[in-house]
Structures are given as structure tokens and as C-alpha cells.
Amino acid sequence: MRSVLGLAVLAVGMTAQNASATLVSPGAGSAMVMLLDDGAYGDGTKAMNEQRWQDAVSSFDKVIQSKDRKSDAALYWKAYSLKKLGNAQAAASTCDELRARFTASSWNRDCSALTVDARVSIPPVEMERHEHSTGRTPDEDLKILAMNSLLNQNPEKAVPILRGMLGSNQPPSLRKHALFVLAQSKSPEAEAILHDAELGKMGPDVQHDAIQAAGVFLGKKNNGTLVEVYKSTGDAKIKRSVVSALSVSQDASRMVDLARSEKDIEMKRSIVSQLAIMHDKVAEDYMLELLK
């Protein structure tokens, strides 16, 4: 419980810390970013220069939602900022969104390096694009491009094919991408497949990826299902996946409900650690509740 209370103290103090943040020079060891333009993207890079990581996330979210030409870069820098906030799971989900939406983006390799090995530090030295490979085999790349194209052109044919891609004989990268494509489809059949995957009917590995996909693309409208999954499973990995997905959609209310009812102190700490970095009144009120 002491560690949970410590997180609460940290969260309550975050606003004051952000307000006093100042620009730090490269010689002081901070990560400096070149400001290339104005608007939300420029606001995000400025926030990173000043180590205001939550503000950076908010600014890059605006770029992503506007579908700006720099959305792929914004997704990477959002993931970087989330990693700096200590939210590695949300950073990984953001990188998954980048790979799903921008298959050929040169930022995919950077995102992979950011999330695959927690010891790797990727300093944001510049905001220019670099030509990198995605780390997948050429055959996997072709199949992913074909999935995206088929769903756009002929959803009725795409959905059963995507369902077949969820089999255990497929590479994990293809299974994950198939789930991300299904999550973006408005087809009732696709929604049913994703729902079954979330409930664990296709195995734990597919369930984990389905929960991530739902968190990134479906938002709060699907969070009732995620809470159902959390309450019905004893698998700590699946529970943490649900918490991460709820965090991605900023559903503080449901996360607080889960934290209040959670008996396992480590799992409760996991939820509180996500709530601690949210700029949300419900989360802040819960932090104050923990301190009483």
C-alpha cells in the first residue's frame, strides 16, 4: 500500500512540476528537439524540449486526430513521450497504431526500438524522417499491404480472410495486424470476430493483441467489454492489457472502479500507476482519496 500512496503523492504534485518546467540545454543531458513548424506539432516538440511529457502527448494527439501529413511522426513522438512518463504499455499500443495506420512509414523501426527493449533510449535529436526497414520479412509486408487494400476495396471478402489470419500457424506480426485491421472495420462480422478474440475464444496470445487493438481503435465505446474481460480472468498479463487499453482511451472512471475493487496489491499498483499520469479530475480525486 505504501507504494500505491507514493504514486498518489507523485500524481498530485505533477501539475505544479509541469508548471515550473524550463528549457534545458543539451549539455544538461536533456533531449532537445528541432522545432520545424508551428501548430500542434510544434507545440508538441516544444513541450518535449521542456520535458512536459503529458503536454507533448496532448499536442501530438491533436496532430493525429487531424490526420495531418505528419501523423506518423506524431504517433512516434507520442509513444516516446508516453515512455518518458513511464507508461510503456501505452507507448507500445501507440507504436502498434503507427504500424497499423502507416505500414510503410519510416518511423516504424524507431518505434520498434523504443518499445522492444526497455533499456534502449532513443533521443529525439531531430524531427526529420529517416529511411528504415520495418523489421518484417518482405512476405509479411506484402501480406499486410494486401490486408489493408482488400478491406478498403471489398470488406465482405476481407473479413473471413482476416479471420483465417488469426490462426496459430501465422506469424505474430500478421495476427496482430489482422486484429488491428478488423478493429478499424465497421462490418458487424468484423466486430463479432474481434469481440470473440477479446473474450479469449481464440487463445491468450490473440486475446492480448485483440485487447490492444480495441484500446487503440474502438475507444470508450468498447470498454464495457474490456471490464468484463478483466473481471472474468485470473491471468495477470490479460488484466494488465485491459488496464493499458483503458489508459489509452483515457477511461479514468472505469480504471478507478477496477482499482477500488482489486484485492491484489500489485495489480492495484499497476492501475494506480496508469492513473497517476492522467490529467483527469476523476483520477486526481482518486489520488486524493488514497491519501486519506
C-alpha–C-alpha distance, residues 180 and 211, integer Å: 10
Query: Which amino acid is present at 180?
Result: F
Q: Cβ of 12: how many Cβ atoms within 10 Å?
A: 15
Cell of 211: 485487447
Residue 150 confidence (pLDDT) above 80: no
Among 33-47, 94-108, 259-273, the range of highest mean pLDDT? 259-273
> Among 118-132, 201-215, 273-287, whose mean pLDDT is lowest?
118-132
* Distance in angstroms between the alpha carbons of the first and the last residue of the chain: 13
C-alpha–C-alpha distance, residues 140 and 35, integer Å: 35
Report pLDDT for 28. Answer: 34
Cell of 185: 472495420
Q: Which residue has the cell 526500438?
A: 113
Q: Which residues contact 39 (CB under 8 A, 6 or more apart)?
A: 63
pLDDT: is 125 or 161 the higher one? 161
At residue 1 the predicted structure's pLDDT band, cuts being 50, 70 and 90, is: low
Q: CA-based diameter of the chain, in Å?
A: 57
Please give the share of the chain, as a percent, with pLDDT higher than 90: 23
Q: Is the dihedral of CA 162, 166, 168, 172 positive or negative?
A: positive
C-alpha–C-alpha distance, residues 225 and 108, integer Å: 30
Cell of 240: 494488465
Span 218-247, pLDDT tens digits: 878 889 999 999 999 999 999 999 998 898
At residue 21 the predicted structure's pLDDT band, cuts being 50, 70 and 90, is: very low
Give the three-class secondary structure for 283.
helix
Q: Quick one: residue 49, left, alpha or beta (phi over 0 = left, psi -120 to 50 = alpha)?
A: alpha
Of 232, 234, 190, 189, the closest CA to residue 213 belongs to 190
Report pLDDT for 229. Answer: 95
Are the beta carbons of 50 and 23 closer than 8 angstroms? yes
- Please report the DSSP string for 100-166 in residue order: HH-TT-TTHHHHHHHHH-TT---------------SS-HHHHHHHHHHHHHHHH-HHHHHHHHHHTT
pTM of the model: 0.61
Report pLDDT for 255. Answer: 95
Report pLDDT for 213. Answer: 86
Report pLDDT for 30. Answer: 37
Report in angstroms the alpha-carbon separations of 65 from 25, 74, 218.
31, 10, 14
At residue 199 the predicted structure's pLDDT band, cuts being 50, 70 and 90, is: very high
Of 285, 261, 262, 263, the closest CA to residue 275 belongs to 285
Report in angstroms the alpha-carbon separations of 118 from 83, 212, 241.
9, 19, 17
Residue 110 confidence (pLDDT) above 50: yes
Domains of the chain: 31-135 (1.25.40.10)
Residue 7 confidence (pLDDT) above 60: no
> Among 157-166, 254-263, 266-275, whose mean pLDDT is lowest?
157-166
